[in-house]
């Protein structure tokens, strides 16, 4: 009798939750709508804006209220409240910060990964998913000349990838809490701020941080590095970690990796390279030589959601010292006992803080297998050339530009007369943002307010650069007028 009651209740609840599994017709209808929506979105990118300087979205539209809405209505909310606000990272006109990408075929990989929901954390759960990710990591190792024995992980992005690598460095050098204050870490002021964040998160906030002098190309000066290490040793401190960049965020500079690698080796230190932005340019013959020495790094980070144009959500970390990588991350529990196998494949969950994670490999594997590697290389080569072209246009129109960049990030400013330079360029930036057809961001370099150009989107084309130039010239005219008027007042 009780069983009958329970069964009836179960069936009633199952009936009420039926909406969670749309039937085939319903699925087709939803997919058709989504397909039309996505096609329209992609088709309008070329003529749309890269930045919308407008009011915040109507937050009430996002509130969760236990009502049901049609898919059309929700797509309309997305169209009004999400898309036309802030930066449009899918646009080829996104030349600010470090642009993302959003390859269509990668999105298909995400869709397939989400539908099949393969468990990519542990080999036992999905040997196929874990093997696929392992092969991707092996490919990345081969690009950077890392040994087959190195291990890697697909993370959510560069910040977490750097965190994992720096954690391994700390564990490898056994920096226990008593040693933190005597330990020394060497980096440049140009490292991405996720490095400082990571150091704090892993308990190294109280270590000594030495900022190494930069040369005129914003690269770390290895002579200063050597000097500072020697002094710290003399002072009884424990220098153990050097963090270099292969493509800095501000200027795209590549530190002298080979020299730094040799210094690290001579001093028995861990050598980490953050190549989140610049790493994949190693595939381009024209700049490959600039990466010499990267193969000597103990750990390396590269971001496919930057240099491979994938949608946000994938970074890669490589570490040579297996036990260091495992030390903090490999932990077991009774409820995991079915997963203990003798497989020689590394479980992603044993080398990362994440246990359950999105099956990220598919979003990278699918485009690589569908398109091959060559289109990626050609696209990266195009970015280098587009940067050169943009800088040449800027110079010919009388702008000052940063030194010849190593990769595809540079900066410029207008040398103003009668007005303070920073004031002028801030106003110029404001007018550029107001226009929004091409999005640029600003920075402070050599104590000067500058406007950055970062070219990395696969959708940035020759005509995007020309449009950007036209937009900048228009904004400069407006800025000149603005100051003329304000001085007359």
Ligand X SMILES: Cc1ncc(COP(=O)(O)O)c(C=O)c1O
| Footprint of ligand X (CB under 6 A) | 98, 157-159, 192, 194, 245, 249, 274, 276-277, 303, 315
**Other C-beta atoms lying within 10 Å of the C-beta of residue 230:** 12
Distances (CA, A) of 411 to 162, 287, 441, 477: 26, 20, 10, 19
Q: Given the complex with ligand X, which of 48 and 102 has the nearer CB atom?
A: 102
Residue 163, SS3?
helix
Residue among 418, 458, 425, 465 nearest 441 (CA): 425
Q: Given the complex with ligand X, which of 90 and 393 has the nearer CB atom?
A: 90
Q: Which residue is nearest to ligand X (CB)?
A: 158
Task: Give min distance, CB of 302 to ligand X, in A.
Answer: 10
Q: Given the complex with ligand X, which of 163 and 349 has the nearer CB atom?
A: 163
CB-hemisphere CA count at 13 Å for 373? 9
Q: Given the complex with ligand X, which of 305 and 476 has the nearer CB atom?
A: 305
Task: Give min distance, CB of 392 to ligand X, in A.
Answer: 25
d(CA 233, CA 184): 10
Q: Given the complex with ligand X, which of 192 and 363 has the nearer CB atom?
A: 192
Look up residue 90 and give its two tokens.
């899918």
Task: Give min distance, CB of 109 to ligand X, in A.
Answer: 18
Q: Given the complex with ligand X, which of 207 and 249 has the nearer CB atom?
A: 249
Sequence-ordered list of residues with C-beta below 8 angstroms from that of 290, at least 6 positions apart, any chain: 254, 406
Task: Give min distance, CB of 239 to ligand X, in A.
Answer: 23
Decide: 417 and 425 in contact? Cβ < 8 Å: no
Task: Give min distance, CB of 119 to ligand X, in A.
Answer: 23
Task: Give min distance, CB of 439 to ligand X, in A.
Answer: 15
Segment holding 448, helix H or strand E:
strand 448-454
Q: Given the complex with ligand X, which of 122 and 220 has the nearer CB atom?
A: 220
Q: Given the complex with ligand X, which of 153 and 238 has the nearer CB atom?
A: 153
Task: Give min distance, CB of 420 to ligand X, in A.
Answer: 30
CB-hemisphere CA count at 13 Å for 235? 13
d(CA 212, CA 188): 5
244 strand-pairing partners = 273
Task: Give min distance, CB of 387 to ligand X, in A.
Answer: 16
Task: Give min distance, CB of 158 to ligand X, in A.
Answer: 3
Look up residue 316 and give its two tokens.
């890669």
Q: Given the complex with ligand X, which of 244 and 325 has the nearer CB atom?
A: 244
**Residue ranges of E strands in 116-182:** 151-155
Look up residue 473 and give its two tokens.
């010239």
Look up residue 228 and give its two tokens.
């500072």
Q: Given the complex with ligand X, which of 118 and 303 has the nearer CB atom?
A: 303
Residue 87, SS3?
strand
Q: Given the complex with ligand X, which of 187 and 269 has the nearer CB atom?
A: 187
| Burial profile 127-139: b = 16 or more Cβ within 10 angstroms, e = fewer | eebbebbbebbee
d(CA 190, CA 214): 9
d(CA 320, CA 264): 15
Task: Give min distance, CB of 466 to ligand X, in A.
Answer: 26
Burial (CB < 10 A; 0-12, 13-18, 19+), residue 276, is: buried
Task: Give min distance, CB of 468 to ligand X, in A.
Answer: 20
Helix axes 322-329, 158-172, angle to 10 degrees: 110
């Amino acid at each position: 009798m009780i069983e009958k009651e329970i069964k009836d209740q179960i069936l009633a609840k199952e009936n009420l939750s039926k909406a969670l599994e749309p039937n085939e017709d319903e699925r087709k209808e939803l997919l058709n709508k989504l397909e039309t929506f996505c096609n329209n979105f992609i088709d309008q990118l070329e003529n749309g804006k890269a930045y919308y300087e407008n009011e915040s979205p109507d937050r009430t539209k996002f509130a969760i209220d236990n009502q049901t809405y049609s898919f059309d209505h929700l797509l309309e909310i997305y169209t009004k409240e999400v898309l036309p606000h802030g930066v449009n990272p899918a646009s080829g006109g996104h030349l600010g910060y470090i642009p993302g990408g959003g390859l269509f075929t990668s999105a298909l990989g995400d869709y397939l990964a989400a539908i099949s929901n393969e468990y990519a954390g542990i080999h036992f759960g999905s040997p196929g998913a874990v093997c696929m990710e392992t092969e991707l990591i092996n490919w990345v190792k081969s690009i950077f000349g890392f040994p087959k024995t190195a291990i890697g992980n697909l993370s959510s992005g560069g910040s977490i990838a750097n965190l994992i690598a720096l954690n391994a460095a700390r564990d490898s050098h056994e920096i226990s809490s008593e040693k933190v204050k005597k330990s020394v870490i060497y980096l440049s002021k140009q490292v991405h701020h996720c490095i400082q964040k990571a150091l704090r998160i892993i308990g190294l906030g109280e270590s000594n941080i030495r900022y190494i002098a930069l040369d005129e190309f914003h690269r770390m000066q290895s002579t200063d590095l050597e000097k500072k290490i020697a002094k710290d040793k003399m002072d009884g401190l424990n220098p153990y970690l050097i963090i270099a960049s292969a493509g800095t965020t501000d200027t795209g500079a590549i530190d002298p990796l080979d020299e730094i690698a040799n210094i690290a080796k001579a001093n028995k230190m861990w050598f980490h390279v953050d190549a989140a932005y610049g790493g994949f340019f190693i595939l381009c013959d024209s700049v490959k030589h600039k990466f010499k020495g990267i193969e000597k790094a103990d750990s390396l980070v590269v971001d496919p959601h930057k240099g491979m144009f994938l949608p946000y959500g994938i970074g890669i970390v490589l570490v040579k010292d297996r036990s260091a990588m495992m030390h903090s991350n490999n932990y077991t529990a009774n409820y995991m006992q079915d997963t203990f196998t003798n497989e020689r494949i590394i479980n992603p969950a044993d080398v990362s803080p994440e246990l359950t994670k999105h099956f990220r490999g598919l979003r990278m594997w699918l485009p690589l297998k569908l398109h091959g590697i060559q289109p990626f290389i050609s696209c990266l080569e195009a970015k280098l050339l587009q940067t050169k072209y943009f800088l040449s246009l800027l110079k010919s129109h009388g702008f000052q530009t940063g030194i010849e960049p190593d990769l595809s990030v540079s900066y410029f400013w207008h040398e103003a007369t009668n007005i303070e330079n920073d004031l002028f360029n801030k106003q110029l930036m404001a007018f550029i943002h107001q226009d929004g057809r091409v999005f640029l961001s600003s920075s402070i370099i050599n104590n000067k307010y500058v406007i950055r150009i970062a070219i990395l989107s696969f959708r940035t084309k020759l005509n995007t650069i020309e449009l950007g130039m036209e937009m900048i010239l228009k904004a400069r005219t407006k800025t000149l007028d603005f100051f003329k008027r304000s001085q007359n007042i």
